[in-house]
Amino acid sequence: MADILDYIDWRGDLSFESAQFNSVDNLIFSALSYINFSTYVSQDFSNPISFRELLPAFKTKTKSQERELGLFINKKTFDLFFKAAESKRYGNCLIQAQVQILDTESETQFSATSFTFGHKQHCIAYRGTDDSIIGWKEDFNMSFMETIPSQIEALNYFEKACKALRGGFILVGHSKGGNLAIYTGLQCNVKDKKRIVKIYSNDAPGFLKKTIESKNFREIEERIKSFIPEFSIIGLLLNHTIPSQIVESSQTGMMSHDPFSWQVRGPAFLPSEKLNKKSSIIDTTLKNWLSSLDTRTREQFVDSFFEAFLATKVSTLTELSVNWLKHSTTILKTLHLADSKTKETIMKSLHSLLMSYVDVKFSKK
């Protein structure tokens, strides 16, 4: 079993000039975007710094830096950076313009980082969902909103990059980050679109139907490469038109969402023949459930649940997990005190979800 760390051991001595950018490089840059480089990297494109130059500062990483990654981002992400910085392939790569936005009022969680490699080649890595509850709320908002704030931020970031940098761009992202990469390719102007070499989406949620049926989508779909693990859940959400390559994972369930579980062979992922049966059941259940709810009901359901989570006065999943018993009591109490109309919406939605699961479960037998 080999992962992205092993890939650097195997191919870290090959420059991007001798071995071109590939799918595994995409996942590595996507994973590195979860690291907070803001102490050392400016928010604009004026002061790039190489991996190798940045390495000494991160060699003394603290526990607080690891905690920033939260519950679901693998702590090996720092090891990935260390190994990359010490390699020939990534050591001279430049990091610049890391932007991070977390805004409760607008329900926005966004981050992007630019990496420059080879000769005027740029990889913009959009960060996926972090540890913040607002970040998760924004994800759920995708079930009823055609455009979420982080998608607008992603497009704005790319437009600034096109003005500041020369050369071609590869847009990548893991989880929500993959969605942002595709959205940017969809919505950018014609001139900037021509500079996009490839878009990589790694286990990312899709879009509402109206978006994928647009002319813009057809214009870029040949440049999109999509990957999902065998037990994908996140990467099957909402609607997709691009066939995804299924990748072998060392984990199952939600843990297969972790980039470090994806199996690598040479410059590519190890392909799997088909999705896990349970993954297919969950996917069909969620799609049937969402189609049974109108847009307004989806919005009310999501808002009600997250209002209960925000009533705990914590801002991250890590904080929520520290005293789960206390916080879960607050969540249940808040839901119990909701008005009758809100309770009715929640109960009907949950009942619809249960019925969808039962229908799919028995039809798959």
pLDDT in tens, 45-81: 999 999 999 999 887 766 667 778 888 899 999 999 9
The average pLDDT across 322-348 equals: 87
pLDDT at 359: 78
Per-residue pLDDT averaged across 198-221, rounded? 89
Same domain, 203 and 225: yes
* Weakest mean pLDDT among 24-33, 52-61, 234-243, 269-278: 52-61
Residues 21, 84, single domain; the answer is yes
Asked if residue 19 has pLDDT above 80, the reply is yes
- Average pLDDT on 16-22 reads 95
Domain at 13, CATH number: 3.40.50
Tell me which of 157-171, 196-210, 347-361 is least confident. 347-361
**Domain termination site, one of 238, 256, 275:** 275
Residue 62 confidence (pLDDT):
62
Q: pLDDT digits over 344-359, tens only? A: 888 888 888 888 878 7
Q: Does the pLDDT at position 163 exceed 90? A: yes
DSSP 236: G
Domain match, 215 and 296 both: no
Q: Flag the least confident range among 59-63, 106-110, 166-170, 178-182.
A: 59-63
Sign of the four-CA dihedral 243, 249, 252, 253 = negative
Closest CA to 160 of 131, 208, 122, 130: 122
Q: Which percentage of the chain shows pLDDT scores above 90? A: 67
Q: How far apart are the C-alpha atoms of 150 and 98, rounded to whole Å?
A: 14
Average pLDDT, the chain: 92
H or E element: which one contains 91?
helix 88-91
Can you give the pLDDT at residue 361? 66
Of 180, 276, 200, 199, the closest CA to residue 236 belongs to 276
- Give the pLDDT score at 52: 96
In a shared domain, residues 177 and 322: no
**Phi and psi for 172 in degrees, rounded to 5?**
-135, 165
φ, ψ of residue 98 to 5 degrees: the values are: -85, 120
Query: 269 and 291 in one domain?
Result: no
pLDDT of 61 reads: 65
363 pLDDT above the threshold of 80: no
At residue 343, the pLDDT reads: 83
Examine the domain organization and report whether 253 and 138 are in the same domain: yes
Domain span at 348: 282-363
Q: Does the pLDDT at position 208 exceed 80?
A: yes
Rounded to 5°, the CA angle 346-348-354 comes to 100
pLDDT at 90: 98
**Shared domain check, 304 and 248:** no
What pLDDT shows up at residue 347? 87
Same-domain status, 291 and 271: no
How do beta strands 108-117 and 94-103 pair?
antiparallel
What residues contact residue 225 under an 8 Å CB cut-off, 6+ apart? 23, 26, 198, 199, 200, 201, 245
Is the confidence at residue 365, as pLDDT, over 60? Answer: no
Sign (positive or negative) of CA dihedral 311, 313, 314, 320: negative
Token code pair at residue 200: 């990589």
Average pLDDT rounded to a whole number, residues 313-323: 89
* 168 lies in the same domain as 299: no
Helices and strands per DSSP (H, E), number in the chain: 17, 10
Q: Looking at residues 16-23, what average pLDDT do you find?
A: 96
Shared domain for 32 and 179, answered yes or no, is: yes
Task: Examine the domain organization and report whether 268 and 293 are in the same domain.
Answer: no
Q: How many domains are contained in the chain? A: 2
pLDDT over 80 (residue 34): yes
Helix (H, G, I), strand (E, B) or coil at 3: coil
Domain-terminating residue out of 218, 247, 275 = 275
Residue with tokens 């520290």: 322
Stated pTM of the model: 0.94
pLDDT category at 15 given cuts 50, 70, 90 is: very high
Which of 240, 275, 310 is the C-terminal boundary of a domain?
Answer: 275
- Do 269 and 290 sit in the same domain of this protein? no
Q: Does residue 360 have a pLDDT over 90?
A: no
